[in-house]
Amino acid sequence: MNTDNNGLLYFDKTSKGKQIIFPNTQSKKKNNNKSNFYELLNCKNYLIKCSPSLDTSKVFNMLKLFNKLQENITLTDLPIGYYQENEVLKGTIVPYYTSSISLYQITKNYNLNKLNEYYLHDDDNIHNLYLLLYDILDILEELQNNGISYLDSNPSNFILKDNQVKLIDFEPQYLKYGITKENIKTTLSRFDDLVFHTHLNFELDNLAIYNSKDFKTMRKHLIKLENKIRKKHL
């Protein structure tokens, strides 16, 4: 890999890479050419994620900001650079997590008991799920405290690895910058959607969407929600 004038790492086609299937998301993404992934030679902990129709300026601005914030953000492994072909931006360099599974895969293909194989912090399955949701909320809040509103909280973007939850997908169009009430509200609304669909897929309950305005209120809501779910299912 090389370093450009902005101090960003980049990888180009002259450095040969082996195309592989990325295990953390649906394999269909490779088959329909929406995303391709390449193994970086001599850099086994990272992959190149290739995406169509990238806005070059937005990607560079995102990476520049991430480069500055890397030391402040401890709960998320941020993209570290970009991939180009013939000086044309094709994708970003992202962390590579082996032996992992996405929250989407668990909710769609298994029951709640399966969660314990990848994320186990309590023997109570329902409480274990809520601990996972709190971890996701912590990730979103840390990003928000650093001025990044993450607007793509869907189960496919969170994977479970070594008893931790990891955020794996950063696309510029799903990011807003600045700590504003509107940005926080939008971030929490997307998280609320994730909570809703996770419960629905685990067949726990039909939930109403909760329009929280801040992270503290959302945590209080999760506590009430867990108590309600536990009474019904235990």
Q: Is the pLDDT of residue 83 over 50?
A: yes
Q: What is the mean pLDDT of residues 113-117?
A: 92
Taking only the tens place, the pLDDT of each residue in 151-175 is: 999 999 999 999 999 998 899 999 9
Same fold, 2-95 and 101-233: no
CATH class for the domain made up of 101-233: mainly alpha
Q: Is the pLDDT of residue 212 over 90?
A: no
Q: Is the pLDDT of residue 29 over 70?
A: no
Q: Where are the chain's structural domains?
A: 2-95, 101-233
The model's confidence at residue 21, banded by pLDDT at 50, 70 and 90, is: very low
pTM score, whole prediction? 0.87
User: CA 99, 102, 108, 113: dihedral to nearest 10 degrees?
Assistant: 60
Give the pLDDT of residue 25. 41
Quote the CA–CA distance of 187 and 181 in Å, as a whole number: 10
The CATH code of domain 2-95 reads: 3.30.200
What is the phi/psi pair of residue 63, to 5°? -65, -35
Tell me what the pLDDT averaged over the chain comes to.
Answer: 84
**Residue partners of 81: CB distance under 8 A and separation at least 6:** 1, 8, 9, 10, 11, 63, 92, 93
The model's confidence at residue 54, banded by pLDDT at 50, 70 and 90, is: confident
